[in-house]
Amino acid sequence: MRREIVVVNSRFIATLAPVFDVAEAKAFIREMRTEFADATHNVPAYLVGYGDSVIAHSSDDGEPSGTAGRPALTVLRGSGLGDVAVVVTRYFGGTKLGTGGLVRAYTQAVQEVLAHTPRARKVLAHTLMLAVPYPLFERVRALIPARGGEVLDSDFGADVTMTARLPVENLEALQSALQELSNGKLQAEIVETGVAIVPLAEEAHD
């Protein structure tokens, strides 16, 4: 996710991404510094983990001490998110903002990108496969997101072979809905189980 603001001719470009360990966070920061190698500053901040086990880091990347990285990290902490990194890229516009102006600009840039970032949570999820007769395909395709899942692929052969991902906790509800829809003929097979990122807006609300 990326958003840009302009403050007294300086451009502040905030790029935010999920990261699940410190190595991923550092890799993301390197990627941003490479992409914006001509920028005046690339200010990073990240939170890895949640609660008491969180690892936090920020840097001012050449801005006056405490005016860039710390405000960015403060906004991340206040968002309630974990496993997240942000890099705020600044292209200097020729007018100095002063320490207060810098704090406000970096704060605003991170707030802006967070306001447009869809929320998600990390869950244990099944990857599922099921063969669906064509007459039931559209209804099954609607059932999966209604139960907090995501359709990953649909292969159209004699039947439609669908691959989907679904939080483990929602499997029983999906299987019941499939049975009811197909008079007991449809059942999803578990292909694998692992950690997945599920958008909060798509979770089931039974």
Q: 3-state secondary structure string, 128-166?
A: EEEEECHHHHHHHHHHHHHCCCEEEEEEECCCEEEEEEE
Note the pLDDT of residue 195: 74
pTM (2 d.p.):
0.66
Note the pLDDT of residue 205: 38
Residue position matching structure tokens 């920020």: 58
Which three-class secondary structure state does DSSP give residue 188? coil
Note the pLDDT of residue 108: 97
Note the pLDDT of residue 33: 97
Note the pLDDT of residue 117: 82
Asked if 164 and 178 count as a contact pair (C-beta separation under 8 A), the reply is no
Q: Is the dihedral of CA 110, 103, 12, 7 positive or negative?
A: positive
Note the pLDDT of residue 20: 86
Which three-class secondary structure state does DSSP give residue 109? helix
Note the pLDDT of residue 98: 95
Low-confidence ranges of the chain (pLDDT < 50): 201-206
Cβ-proximal residues to 197 (8 Å cutoff; 6+ apart), any chain = 18, 120, 121, 122, 123
Note the pLDDT of residue 199: 63
Calpha distance 66→44 (Å, rounded) = 13
DSSP string, 172-183: HHHHHHHHHHTT
* Domains and their CATH numbers in the chain: 2-115 (3.30.230.30), 120-202 (3.30.70.240)
